[in-house]
Amino acid sequence: MPLDALVFDAYGTLFDVHAVIDRCEKFWPGKGAQLSQLWRAKQLEYSWLRSLIGRYQPFSALTRDALGYACEALGLALDEAKTKTLMQDYLGLAPYPDVPEALAALKGGGRKLAILTNGSPDMIEPLVKNRGLQSSFDAVLSVDPLKTFKPAPRVYQLAVDSLRVPAANIGFISSNGWDALGAKSFGFTVFWINRGAAPVDRLGFQPDGMLASLGDLAPRIAH
């Protein structure tokens, strides 16, 4: 089945969420990596919990709340100035080194490229702009209008409806295993960027392809 569209997760897939480690380390020496890991873990946990209990908040609010939790859990003093700086850093997260070249290789030939992200518009739109990637995508889709988060099936349906491409003709790319399997369950052709060589979650199905980096995708889908 030809892939008429490629849909990418953003955080952890295109953009390195742990690019904030240096700032965290500057604020709290010796704690930067630990804080970044816990911050990310709680950010995701809050997205799943708020989806399950039906109490949506934008991803920017979850990210701020997760930062507050992580600092309290680690006994780190967090004031408004540090919070503002770290939240601002999220608007300029570095893309993974292979991303710009890989996106350029995938663009063209009538194939649509889009982002589908948990990120709220106040986070993802400045990030894409600040990194000069606007021209790489035909659409940047946020869950915000749906008031829920991935891996809810209707989030993946948003890509189908917005791009006007059947699910069977959409390739979905994520470095988050739970997101990759959510997209596979929905019906996309899924490529998991498994940077950490992690095992596949036991949910009863597999991604269609495993990649070490985004640069590995173009040769896999050449036709």
Q: What spatial distance separates the first Cα and last Cα of the chain, rounded to whole Å?
A: 10
Active site residue 22: no
Read off the tokens for 216.
């590995």
| Nearest-angstrom CA–CA distance, 195 and 79 | 34
Secondary structure class of 192 (helix, strand, coil): strand
For residue 169, give Cα distances in angstroms to 57, 163, 207: 31, 11, 15
- Closest Cα to residue 188, out of 167, 159, 165? 167
Report the alpha-carbon distance of residue 122 to residue 100 in Å, rounded.
Answer: 22
CA distance 158 to 188: 12
CA count, 13 A, side-chain hemisphere, 123: 26
Structure token digits, residue 160: 């189908």
Q: Among 9, 16, 161, 216, which one carries the catalytic annotation?
A: 9
Single-letter amino acid, residue 175: S
Residues designated as active site: 9
